[in-house]
């Protein structure tokens, strides 16, 4: 692993050197930050997320200082599963791309995450994430209302009433449901609704950390309506107290901040008061923003302070404040328009007999390094000495032990945006021209990297508290943990917001740069990715020793790429390529021996591609913005929008007979929700647990084979199943068993598997669905259900999630001709199970696309036909400024007369983070 040796702060080696004023004696390891500018704040199913990536050095905020050349973008669902992943290559200094929201995506909240491979050294907590709601573009035919009741002897129950769009009840309808109270192995059950269209069930206890919900499917002829209903979680809240500088000191008037939140991380507001042991009220407290507030209090050494608080629901709790100390000291900070003032607070009656070292840095750049004499415990630092962002004050003793810390946010003047607009969005299909000039605070032209989005105000709500480029790079990315609505602190510079920002600094002790950690030698597990490189090794079959100087032939399946690579002394090999993704598919590489050595004597193994975990994501509740509700209601009436184009369609249902590209139909689907519950490791394990599928190992033509069997039409007794399952792979499928079982091919994302054992190389969590497939001409479209429902009425559903390991066969009406497996990310390319041949699917960088911007240059094209319903009116990911900091832009308005909001985000060449918002009428 490559090592970067960094010049280190001398306090960890020679403490005496620390007590010399000045000198930049600290250097942190190189770090990177990422940010994504998206065209709008929410999307509809079938829409496209247009995005621009910004990658900067974490200290300087300059894009030119960032070393990585590839940015990974992931779309993650509410269950923390990555459902789309892209790699974006820097092109001419820019990262820009898109994420299509396919028609089968669920209406829910999602998160977009961005990171480089190098950023993984700091941990997933410092990746960029953005929560984006995706709403259905059709009105649902199923409405589900949930109520709760209790049984004194039997606990709490839920009652779900199912209604049609017109308000009539789904009485006597077939429903399959699952109550998610644990991560895996939740049971699916089948019932019929009662005369009131209801199902009733007991709410089981849930595992800690699991978000509970009910997932139900209502069957209506050839349609399936699906709903996910989130259940209320156990409510409990805590209040944390944070004395300024880290310690509550005895006999000193001191500022104490507090933060209230629930056990699930939701923000709540509280009010209350602080009492001493004599029950005297010392001070009252109130949350001011996002559950955070502060108060000033003085505590005696022998006293214990207790806060009694009440939330907005009336729940009362008490919390003990930290014990007042007589041995610690604390830093107190005050900021005014010209200076930052610091003071060292000491407990009452304590005399200091030592000097201290004060270190001040912003994002790892040393601003101040001085000795603080016990005779002068306070001083001021000019504000001009600080760059914009979080300044970190750290106080050390002579043993280099950190004795107090304080974070302070320093603002700087914004860049100047000048925008001239010709045209109005009140006129349909008319041109609008804009002239843009960007200057620094001294009114000098700037150069940099900027992107622009223009959205329709009727459709898109512009929330001033949503995270943006300034709040992310200057605030959120430097604090570990969740900052609620970080953009709020940049919405204006009023005294109230300045106070709230200071309170935020008091309550966040986690930060990106930690001077208490020895960083003398930085060892990076994850390297800077500048090229697309694939690595592996070769070893002997017999003694498992690595084979050096072994020649290998690397090629693609289309033979467009051929290369000979040779393993090194350690038996390792690598090669680089510059392939681009084609139609969102992985790039397939085949690697085999180039010499004449027999294939059975060696094995080729690839270094497994690791991707970051998704366990550190924080989810917030998202409601449809009030200003956007009228738009969403109009969209759901009778048409859908696909990239702004109006297409009329039927109401939202899921058709059980899904069309496949080659004219086949899927009539029975093991859906993602059931696959997730089984918690198997490989796709082969999933097939073995699927009802009506038998994975058989046997000998045929003197060759060990593995293949999939499905029940034949003659299958009518369990004995037939037991005979074949009891063979334990010792007998071929022939003779008697062929009367009851039939061999079928397995297709993965359109690729037919030649060796079923390759499914061991496909992770179960990457499988999206397992489909029984048949030729459309032979499909029995009028069958009400392709498995007999009545045999399982009011019982547990026999599904992949709760079938026994030996499987369970149900009477079939239609016999499948293929088993079709669809995946989230593998795109059908699975590693080979033959050691002498390595087959891998590599995530190459994604192809970009241009935002579709219609033009109406003629009178005929401007005739209003009510079809241009764009919500993103214009998207410009790469704004190019001339030497005067100027550029010109133009676009055509959509059909709906409205007002538009322009958002420009970017970073100047010298690292200034900029944002500008303007409404045009």
Residue pLDDT, tens place only, 760-811: 888 888 888 888 877 655 444 433 333 333 333 344 444 444 443 333 344 4
Question: CA distances (Å), 27 to each of 6, 7, 272, in order?
Answer: 6, 6, 44
**Could you tell me the strand order of the sheet in which 694-700 lies?**
694-700, 703-711, 741-744
Q: Which helix (H) or strand (E) holds 156?
A: strand 155-163
Q: How far apart are CA 505 and CA 486, in angstroms?
A: 12
CATH class of 30-133: mainly beta
Bridge partners, 218 (sequence order): 175, 225
What pLDDT, on a 0 to 100 scale, did the predictor assign at position 643? 54
Local structure of 837: helix, strand or coil: strand
Dihedral sign from CA coordinates of 53, 58, 64, 69: negative
CATH topology of domain 141-228: Immunoglobulin-like (2.60.40)
What pLDDT, on a 0 to 100 scale, did the predictor assign at position 839? 84
DSSP for 614-659? -TT---------GGGHHHHHHHHHHEEEETTEEEE-PPB-EESSEE
pTM across the whole model: 0.87
Q: How many CB atoms are located within 10 Å of the residue 663 CB?
A: 9
Q: Quote the DSSP letter at residue 571.
A: S
String of b and e for 846-869 (b: at least 16 CB within 10 Å)?
beeeebeeeebeeeeeeeeeeebb
- The predicted-structure confidence for 56-85, as pLDDT tens digits, reads as follows 999 999 999 999 999 999 999 988 889 999
Reply yes or no on whether the pLDDT at 441 is more than 60: yes
**Contact call for residues 642 and 480 (beta carbons, < 8 A):** no
Q: How far apart are CA 233 and CA 311, in angstroms?
A: 17
The dotted CATH code for 244-266+295-301+322-408 is 2.60.40.10
Q: How many CB atoms are located within 10 Å of the residue 617 CB?
A: 16
What pLDDT, on a 0 to 100 scale, did the predictor assign at position 224? 83
- The predicted-structure confidence for 912-921, as pLDDT tens digits, reads as follows 999 999 999 9
Q: Which of 219-223, 287-291, 508-512, 709-713 has the highest mean pLDDT?
A: 287-291
What tokens does 884 get? 């005067």
Reply yes or no on whether the pLDDT at 114 is more than 60: yes
Give the chain's end-to-end CA distance (angstroms, integer): 57
Q: Which residue has the higher pLDDT, 274 or 617?
A: 274
Rounded to the nearest integer, the mean pLDDT of the chain is 82
Question: CA distances (Å), 794 to each of 79, 220, 733, 798, 812, in order?
Answer: 28, 17, 36, 12, 20
Categorize the per-residue pLDDT at 675 as very low, low, confident or very high, splitting at 50, 70 and 90: confident
Local structure of 776: helix, strand or coil: helix
Picking from 101, 156, 166, the residue whose alpha carbon sits closest to that of residue 132 is: 101
Q: Quote the DSSP letter at residue 490.
A: G
SS (H, E, C) 65-83: HCCCCEEEEEEECCCCCEE
- The predicted-structure confidence for 620-668, as pLDDT tens digits, reads as follows 877 777 778 888 887 776 554 555 555 554 444 444 444 455 556 665 6
Among 465-479, 597-611, 616-630, 700-714, the range scoring the smallest mean pLDDT is: 700-714
């Amino acid at each position: 692993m490559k090592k970067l040796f960094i010049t280190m702060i001398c306090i960890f080696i020679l403490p005496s050197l620390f007590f010399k004023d000045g000198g930049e004696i600290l250097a942190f390891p190189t770090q990177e930050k990422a940010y994504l500018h998206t065209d709008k704040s929410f999307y509809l199913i079938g829409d496209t997320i247009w995005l621009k990536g910004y990658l900067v050095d974490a200290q300087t905020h300059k894009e030119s200082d960032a070393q990585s050349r590839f940015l990974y973008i992931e779309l993650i669902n509410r269950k923390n599963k990555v459902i789309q992943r892209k790699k974006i290559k820097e092109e001419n200094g820019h990262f820009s791309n898109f994420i299509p929201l396919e028609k089968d995506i669920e209406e829910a909240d999602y998160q977009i995450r961005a990171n480089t491979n190098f950023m993984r050294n700091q941990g997933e907590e410092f990746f960029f994430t953005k929560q984006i709601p995706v709403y259905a573009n059709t009105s649902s035919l199923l409405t589900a209302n949930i109520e709760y009741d209790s049984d004194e002897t039997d606990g709490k129950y839920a009652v779900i009433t199912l209604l049609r769009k017109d308000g009539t009840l789904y009485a006597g309808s077939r429903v399959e449901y699952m109550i998610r109270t644990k991560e895996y192995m939740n049971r699916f059950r089948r019932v019929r609704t009662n005369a009131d269209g209801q199902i009733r069930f007991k709410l089981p206890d849930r595992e800690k950390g699991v978000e509970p919900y009910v997932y139900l499917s209502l069957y209506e002829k050839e349609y399936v309506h699906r709903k996910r209903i989130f259940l209320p979680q156990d409510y409990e809240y805590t209040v944390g107290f944070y004395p300024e500088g880290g310690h509550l000191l005895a006999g000193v008037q001191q500022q104490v901040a507090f933060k209230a939140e629930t056990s699930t991380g939701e923000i709540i507001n509280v009010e209350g008061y602080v009492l001493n042991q004599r029950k005297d009220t010392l001070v009252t407290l109130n949350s001011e923003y996002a559950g955070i507030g502060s108060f000033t209090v003085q505590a005696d050494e022998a006293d214990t302070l207790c806060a009694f608080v009440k939330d907005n629901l009336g729940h009362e709790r008490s919390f003990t404040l930290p014990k007042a100390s007589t041995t610690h000291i604390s830093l107190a900070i005050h900021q005014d328009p010209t200076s930052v003032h610091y003071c060292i607070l000491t407990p009452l009656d304590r005399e200091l007999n030592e000097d201290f070292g004060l270190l001040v840095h912003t994002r790892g750049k040393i601003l101040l390094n001085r000795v603080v004499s016990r005779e002068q415990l306070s001083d001021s630092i000019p504000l001009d000495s600080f760059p914009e962002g979080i300044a970190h004050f750290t106080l050390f003793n002579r043993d280099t032990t950190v004795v107090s810390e304080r974070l302070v946010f320093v603002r700087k003047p914004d860049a100047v945006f000048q925008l001239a607009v010709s045209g109005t969005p009140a006129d349909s299909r008319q041109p609008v021209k804009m002239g843009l000039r960007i200057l620094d605070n001294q009114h000098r032209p700037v150069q940099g990297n900027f992107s622009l989005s223009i959205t329709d105000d009727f459709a898109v709500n512009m929330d001033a508290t949503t995270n943006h480029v300034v709040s992310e790079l200057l605030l959120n990315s430097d604090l570990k943990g969740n900052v609620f609505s970080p953009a709020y602190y940049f919405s204006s510079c009023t005294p109230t917001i300045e106070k709230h920002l200071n309170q935020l600094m008091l309550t966040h002790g986690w930060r990106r740069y930690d001077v208490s950690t020895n960083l003398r030698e930085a060892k990076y597990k994850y390297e800077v990715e500048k090229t697309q490189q694939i690595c592996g090794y070769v070893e002997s079959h017999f003694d498992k020793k690595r084979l050096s100087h072994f020649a290998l032939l690397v090629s693609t399946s289309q033979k467009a790429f051929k290369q000979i690579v040779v393993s090194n002394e350690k038996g390792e090999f690598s090669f680089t390529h510059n392939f681009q993704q084609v139609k969102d598919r992985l790039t397939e590489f085949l690697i085999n021996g180039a010499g004449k050595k027999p294939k059975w004597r060696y094995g080729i193994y690839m270094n497994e591609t690791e991707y970051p975990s998704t366990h550190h994501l924080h989810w917030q509740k998202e409601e449809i913005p009030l200003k956007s509700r009228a738009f969403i209601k109009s969209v759901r009436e009778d048409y859908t929008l696909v990239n702004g184009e109006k297409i009329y369609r039927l109401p939202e249902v899921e058709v059980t007979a899904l069309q496949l590209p080659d004219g086949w139909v899927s009539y029975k689907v093991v859906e993602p929700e059931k696959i997730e519950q089984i918690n198997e490791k490989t796709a082969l394990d999933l097939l073995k647990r699927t009802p009506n599928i038998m994975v058989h190992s046997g000998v045929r033509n003197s060759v060990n084979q593995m293949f999939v069997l499905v029940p034949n039409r003659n299958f009518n007794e369990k004995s037939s199943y037991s005979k074949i399952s009891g063979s334990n792979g010792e007998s071929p499928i022939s003779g008697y068993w062929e009367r009851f079982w039939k061999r079928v091919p397995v297709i993965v994302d359109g690729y037919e598997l030649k060796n079923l054992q390759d499914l061991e190389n496909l992770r179960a969590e990457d499988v999206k669905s397992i489909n029984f497939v048949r030729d459309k001409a032979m499909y029995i479209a009028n069958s009400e259900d392709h498995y007999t429902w009545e045999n399982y009425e009011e019982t547990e559903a026999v599904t992949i999630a709760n079938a026994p390991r030996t499987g369970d066969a149900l009477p079939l009406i239609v016999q499948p001709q293929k088993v079709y497996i669809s995946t989230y990310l593998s795109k059908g390319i699975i590693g080979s199970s033959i050691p002498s041949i390595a087959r891998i699917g590599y995530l190459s960088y994604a192809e970009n696309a241009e935002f579709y911007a219609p033009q109406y240059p003629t009178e005929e094209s401007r005739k209003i036909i009510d079809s241009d319903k764009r919500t993103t009116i214009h998207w410009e990911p790469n704004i190019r400024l001339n030497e005067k900091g100027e550029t010109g832009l133009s676009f055509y308005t959509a059909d709906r007369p409205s007002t538009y909001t322009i958002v420009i985000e970017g970073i100047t060449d010298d690292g200034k983070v900029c944002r500008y918002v303007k409404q045009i009428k």
